[in-house]
Amino acid sequence: MKKYFFIISIALLCSQAAGAEVPVIQNQGDSLFTIQMDSVAMTIDVNGGKIRSFRYGDREMLSQLPWPNAFGSTFWTSPQKEWYWPPVPEYDNMPYAVKQRKSSLVMTSQVPRTHQYRITKEFYVDPTDTAFVVSYTITNVSPLERKVAPWEITRVVNDGGCIYFDADLEDITPAGLMDFKEKDDFVYYQPDTKPTNRKINADGEGWLAYQNHGLILMKRFQNLEEDQPAPNEAEIQVYVNRGKTYIELESQGAYTSLKPGKSLTWAVRWYLRPIGDACFQ
């Protein structure tokens, strides 16, 4: 793939779709809500406020594996060292309160006794470029000033395809852990199926893309300066689970001080389009 072709593909993702329809929000029952715009649909589960599906027609982009913490797209607070593992249930899998508006869906988490943040997620479509927007708000409900960063984790199946983002190879750490290659102004990686779990951090330029199943998923978010991520975290992270299972495409926002009662809001714009071959060499 030539540089100009990749740039054109990205430009098409961000362009307004001709004859775009009005987004439709439907309660599907069984805790699921769907937002659909033209051929693209996003399904959100009240349990965890988790994105369970993002598809173009009948082609699914997200992992549907049945194991815990192996499917869909979720949201955590960063840095991870403050809660380690497993994910905080109130944020990751417990029921969110739901408010369905005319053009958006708002879900609000319960507040865990030990962490004392409230997470609010608003899902809607921006008709100017047909982006599916997920706007995350973290509110500090504790009596203390605290620092936190937003963190989106999106899981796809490891069955081929390519991961792309804008970074220098030397800025990907740990070096050599994944076989990233440099192409013009971006790096790419065709995931392998080694029998070990591995994860890299990178300083990107505000976008992360995954190409597979004849589709490209592109996510755009705030571009961070080197000193803005949470300690030992990064703007872009890629986790590959062992074997032919799943991959996590992760992005984080700025590490922010919040006084009691104050909030931060961070948005991620999701695009899904047909693109052709699964990967280029």
Per-residue pLDDT of the chain (281 residues; tens, 9 = 90+): 444 445 556 555 655 454 567 899 999 999 999 999 999 999 999 999 999 999 999 999 999 999 999 999 999 999 999 999 999 999 999 999 999 999 999 999 999 999 999 999 999 999 888 999 999 999 999 999 999 999 999 999 999 889 999 999 999 999 999 999 998 778 999 999 999 999 999 999 999 999 998 999 999 999 999 999 999 999 999 999 999 999 999 999 999 999 999 999 999 999 999 987 656 54
pLDDT recorded at residue 11:
54
Which amino acid makes up residue 207?
W
Cα 158-163-166 angle, rounded to 5 deg: 160
CA distance 138 to 78: 11
Instruction: Please give the Cα distance from 246 to 138 (Å, whole number).
Output: 27
Predicted confidence at residue 185, as pLDDT, reads: 79
| pLDDT of 281 | 45
pLDDT of residue 1: 41
User: Residue 49 in 3-state DSSP?
Assistant: coil
Can you give the pTM of this predicted structure?
Answer: 0.94
Quote the pLDDT of residue 2: 45
Nearest Cα to Cα of residue 34 among 46, 43, 47:
43
